[in-house]
Structure 1
């Protein structure tokens, strides 16, 4: 009986924190008005976007060329840990938006090839330390991004940064 209770509690916890839908009334972003080259915080992380390049037809190296379904948008970002404990940056929690409000997710496979010289976003960021890297979004051809919402974690409110 105790084992069944533990399994039910664990399943309920997974549903609550991972699988449940967001409340439509819950604000997605609490920090508005961010812009290029200006730091903006979400939780313990402070983000600065320094550039956006859309219309990139492929990424890769001398052995592999990755082609998007549409085209790639590359977003150069600096992530600083302003907290007191080491934290991880999860690139899959980051979102980009076009003028129509369409949401785009990152392409982690493409990010591996774009960030060969950067500290891996999957490494812990120590307190006071920062990492630079490039987020990669696969968007429909000829799409321009108008904003990016950067998150400390998948459940944080996010910080919207205008990129156009």
Structure 2
């Protein structure tokens, strides 16, 4: 029995072996970059505050990169530089705070310590006593000569009906009454009266309820400037006999448009006038005595008596 012939096998083709793809290191590189930036910024005053954001972020990204085994060297660099930056920034801020506190203590100590140069010598004290006696004698003579005039000036003026005319208060400002026309900045204003109080403004379907009572103040406003402007009702404050101040009610102004409320959204052209009302939400037992209109940051308010 013969064996079958053995044919040689053809050589197997060889294919190029590709190396495995490199592991992604984006997270580790980001940690390293953030850590280096945080470390550099930690040495710069004021800007070092950014280190408290970048440093912890670098540490977190570095730890995540180590856990996922992606870029061990870059991850460790990010963790070390980020943590070191936070440490240096913290020390810097502590030193800066200590310097500020030390400066405040020195200034307070200087205020408490008496000034040595201000201490008087015995000779200067005697001279000042002599000068003081002379000044007292001169003041006494002036008081004797001006006493009558001073008493006359202290006497309040009286009007035709014998009523005392109130003088301006210590903080200044102008005083007016209902019906007087006065100027506030570029506005010419006249308070014409006070209408009846009510607990609601509007109709049965579209209204607002007062916390206490709405008191309507009737007025006429004229734009005395040279350009169109919006009337600002927030400058008006109602004051009662207990010196309580009440701001105008924007809700009542909105719902009371049909009742003549002045709209703060209407632009008034130069020379034009509008007539209407401002509503103030006040307690039912409040007696409003006057209005105060703010004339500006450096100016005393204008007062209008409502009695």
What's 2:228 paired with?
86
Task: From 110, 122, 130, give the equivalent of 2:273.
Answer: 130
- The one-character-per-residue Cα deviations of 1:44-85 (angstroms, maximum 9, x if unpaired) are 111111111353221112313322111111101111111212
Task: From 84, 102, 127, give the equivalent of 2:244.
Answer: 102
Structure number with higher relative contact order (C-alpha < 8 Å, ≥ 6 residues apart): 1
Say what the alpha-carbon RMSD is for the aligned residues.
2.3
- The answer (yes or no) to whether the contact 1:47–1:77 under 8 Å persists in 2 is yes
**Distance between the aligned counterparts of 1:133 and 1:99, measured in 2?**
25
What's 1:120 paired with?
263
- The answer (yes or no) to whether the contact 1:94–1:149 under 8 Å persists in 2 is yes
More strand by proportion, 1 or 2?
1
**Distance between the aligned counterparts of 2:265 and 2:281, measured in 1?**
20
**Distance between the aligned counterparts of 2:276 and 2:299, measured in 1?**
21
Aligned residues: 137
Q: Unaligned regions of 5+ residues in structure 2, if any?
A: 1-169
Q: Unaligned regions of 5+ residues in structure 1, if any?
A: 1-25
Counterparts of 1:148-163 in structure 2, within 5 Å, are: 148-151=291-294, 157-163=300-306
TM (normalized to structure 2)? 0.41
Change (3 A) 1:132 1:155: farther
What's 2:219 paired with?
77
**Distance between the aligned counterparts of 1:77 and 1:108, measured in 2?**
16
TM (normalized to structure 1)? 0.73
What's 2:63 paired with?
none
Change (3 A) 1:114 1:161: same
**Distance between the aligned counterparts of 1:151 and 1:126, measured in 2?**
21
What's 2:286 paired with?
143
- The answer (yes or no) to whether the contact 1:70–1:139 under 8 Å persists in 2 is yes
- The answer (yes or no) to whether the contact 2:207–2:255 under 8 Å persists in 1 is no
Deviates more, 1:109-118 or 1:74-83: 109-118
Q: Which has the larger radius of gyration?
A: 2
**Distance between the aligned counterparts of 1:49 and 1:78, measured in 2?**
7
